Amino acid sequence: MLLKNTNIVSAAQTKFGALEGVTLREMFSEAVDKATIDAGIPKKDIQAAFIGSFIPEMLVHQGHTAPLLLDFAGLKGLPATRHEAACASGATALRAAVMAIESGIYDTVLVAGVEKMTSVSTSGATEALAAAADDQFESSIGLTFPGVFGIAAVAHMQKYGTTEEDLARVAVKAHKNASTNPLAQFQKEITLEKAMTPRYIAWPLKLFDCSPISDGAAALVVTSNEKAKKYTDLPVKITGTGQASASMNLCDRDDLTSFSASVEASRAAYKMAGLEAKDMDFAVVHDCFTIAEIIASEDIGFFKPGEGAKAVRDGVTALDGDRPINPMGGLKAVGHPVGATGVKQAVVAYRELIGDAGPNQVAEHDTGVVHNFGGTGASCVVTVMRRGDA
Amino acid sequence: MSEKPTVEEYLKNIEEGMFKAYKCVDCGMVIAPPSGTCYGCGSSKMKWAEVSGKGKLISFTVIHIAPDEFVEEAPYYVAIIELEEGTRVSARLLGFDPLKPEEISLGIDVQLDYEKGKSGNTYLAFKPA
């Protein structure tokens, strides 16, 4: 096994949603306090910080955010760098932390993600998000993010017979799981009929196929084997990490029914962990749109290409199914503060693995996989995690 | 127009209704939108290529909720088109009712066109052949 020394020993998130009156630095600080002080980990033990944040320059007019956030959170002076890979920013920060711990440079580091999106109008947020697509060749003809996934949905439907109702079932599942998650933006179940309400955003994607605009932060403390013992009897080991990129432009992809970066990143992560997709008890995947969850479930090897929709239909990916996916509600219902998402996904996996997910606990929880996806699919990071005593 | 193609001129050609692709000097692969390096052989020597304008529809969407710049044009089609020369481009799709997308079949033949948007920009576009 290549990764021998990396453990998550605490994990926390703020509530996700429209957090009125709470600024970027305040939500960051809240997540950090929950992951350190509240978990019995003194801030003075933290040696460096790896921070995921997508585009605070456009959303809150703030660059050079890492030192600013650290100062406010009582960690002034530490080495701090922001990692940006659009919606995969959070997982790239985690991956950098893994490499730093494995190299032996640090023993204990903070990984955090944050985004404040509701401080601008919906069109302002849409414009900021559009910066994650190719401005000169695709955004310039009016292609939007929902549009990118609309194009993928049409291709998947044509090739495999996936239907709009299949997509709606992903949303129904997400809302059901989030209904018992007090940190979720939406905590209300929806019916299939409601999910099918024909309010098109980018045909065939409707309102309920899209993740919302959200504020929120999440944080992890990542540490070496030796130091982990000091904080917990039950760490979560990171045993595999994979990252890949792909063309920004959708038109430069040979296959629109699969995202090559997801396939490559998951293969690399499984290989590093010495495991296969079938060994995973559950998955946390990047469901920015309902079709994205179906395609991700195929790309990470949970289902064969074209069989992701059937798995949703048959309840296989439900909380009590054989292969649970997004057991706490996903981006779709918990919210998607872009830079926080990848870290929040790791928080979900951590809580599931140690058996701390309450009503959202999956039955088998030795090993899980986290899939965090950036922009049009031009970046993807996949992480394999295993409970320390498993 | 310079002999060595540039992104700026590629976009200007579309604006003027004279779309041209890139072509790899070393292996002849036709490339659009522009890439600094050939996807086929890795060469970075490019020249301009005239294209037939014939293509086929690979996939599409209808944008209903558009960014501010395009709001007045919504709903509108954005499609992925594979040119006869093998490369794929993103473009507007013309000639179909945006409220009846279910009537469109993938794989149909399309022909190069342009659309003058209300935004004042000219978009690369395709219409049924």
A142/B61 CB distance under 8 A? no
Q: Has residue A132 been placed in a domain?
A: no
The token duo for A17 is 């949603």
Q: Which residues contact B32 (CB under 8 A, 6 or more apart)?
A: B10, B21, B22, B51, B83, B87, B89
Chain B residues close to A126, C-beta within 8 Å: 65, 67
Does any CB of chain B come closer than 8 Å to the CB of residue A123? yes
Strands B54-63 and B109-116: antiparallel
| Whether residue A29 sits in one domain with residue A41 | yes
| Whether residue A321 sits in one domain with residue A184 | yes
Q: Has residue A77 been placed in a domain?
A: yes
Averaged pLDDT, A219-225: 98
Q: Which domain holds residue B59?
A: 54-128
Q: Has residue A79 been placed in a domain?
A: yes
Cβ pair A85, A38 in contact under 8 A: no
CATH code: domain of residue A377 = 3.40.47.10
Of the pLDDT bands very low, low, confident and very high (cuts 50, 70, 90), residue A2 is confident
Does any CB of chain A come closer than 8 Å to the CB of residue B60? yes
Burial group, residue A131, by CB count within 10 angstroms (0-12, 13-18, 19+): middle
Q: Has residue A348 been placed in a domain?
A: no
Which pLDDT does position B98 carry in this prediction?
98
Secondary structure (3-state) at B80: strand
User: What does the pLDDT look like over A309-354, one tens digit per residue?
Assistant: 999 999 999 999 999 999 999 999 999 999 999 999 999 999 999 9
Burial group, residue A279, by CB count within 10 angstroms (0-12, 13-18, 19+): middle
Q: Has residue B1 been placed in a domain?
A: no
Q: Give the whole-angstrom CA distance, residue A121 versus residue A298.
A: 35
What string of pLDDT tens digits covers the 129 residues of chain B?
567 899 999 999 999 999 999 999 999 999 999 999 999 999 999 999 999 999 999 999 999 999 888 999 999 999 999 999 999 999 999 999 999 999 999 999 999 999 999 888 999 999 999
Q: Has residue B113 been placed in a domain?
A: yes
Q: What is the 3-state secondary structure (H, E, C) of chain A?
A: CCCCCCEEEEEEECCCECCCCCCHHHHHHHHHHHHCHHHCCCHHHCCEEEEECCCHHHHCCCCCHHHHHHHHCCCCCCCEEEECECECHHHHHHHHHHHHHHHCCCCEEEEEEEECCCCCCHHHHHHHHHCCCCCCCCHHHCCCHHHHHHHHHHHHHHHHCCCHHHHHHHHHHHHHHHCCCCCCCCCCCCCHHHHCCCCEEEECEEHHHECCCCEEEEEEEEECHHHHHHHCCCCEEEEEEEEEECCCCHHHCCCCCCCHHHHHHHHHHHHHHCCCHHHCCEEECCCCEHHHHHHHHHHCCCCCCCCHHHHHHCCCCCCCCCCCECCCCHHHHHCCCHHHHHHHHHHHHHHHHCCCCHHHCCCCCCEEEEEEEECCCCEEEEEEEEECCC
Q: Give the whole-angstrom CA distance, residue A213 versus residue A332.
A: 10
The residues pairing with A368 across neighbouring beta strands, listed in sequence order, are A282, A385
Cβ pair B30, B58 in contact under 8 A: no
Burial group, residue A179, by CB count within 10 angstroms (0-12, 13-18, 19+): middle
The yes-or-no verdict on residue A357 having pLDDT over 70 is: yes
Of the candidates A155, A200, A251, which has its C-beta nearest B64's C-beta?
A200
| Whether residue A220 sits in one domain with residue A105 | yes
| Whether residue B31 sits in one domain with residue B66 | no
Is the bond preceding B75 in cis, omega lying within 30 degrees of 0?
A: yes
User: What does the pLDDT look like over A288-320, one tens digit per residue?
Assistant: 999 999 999 999 999 999 999 999 999 999 999
Does any CB of chain A come closer than 8 Å to the CB of residue B69? yes
| Whether residue A182 sits in one domain with residue A96 | no
Averaged pLDDT, A198-217: 97
| Number of independent structural domains in chain A | 2
- Chain B CA closest to residue A152: B59
Q: Which domain holds residue A279?
A: 143-210+237-332+358-387
| Number of independent structural domains in chain B | 2
B33/A150 CB distance under 8 A? no
Among A122, A139, A143, A208, most B C-beta atoms within 10 A, so best to mutate, is A143
Does any CB of chain B come closer than 8 Å to the CB of residue A213? no
| Whether residue B99 sits in one domain with residue B58 | yes
Cβ pair A12, A34 in contact under 8 A: yes
Chain B residues close to A202, C-beta within 8 Å: 61-65
Q: Has residue B98 been placed in a domain?
A: yes
| Whether residue A107 sits in one domain with residue A27 | yes
pTM comes to 0.97
Nearest to A366 by CA among A269, A237, A232: A237
Cβ pair A389, A273 in contact under 8 A: no
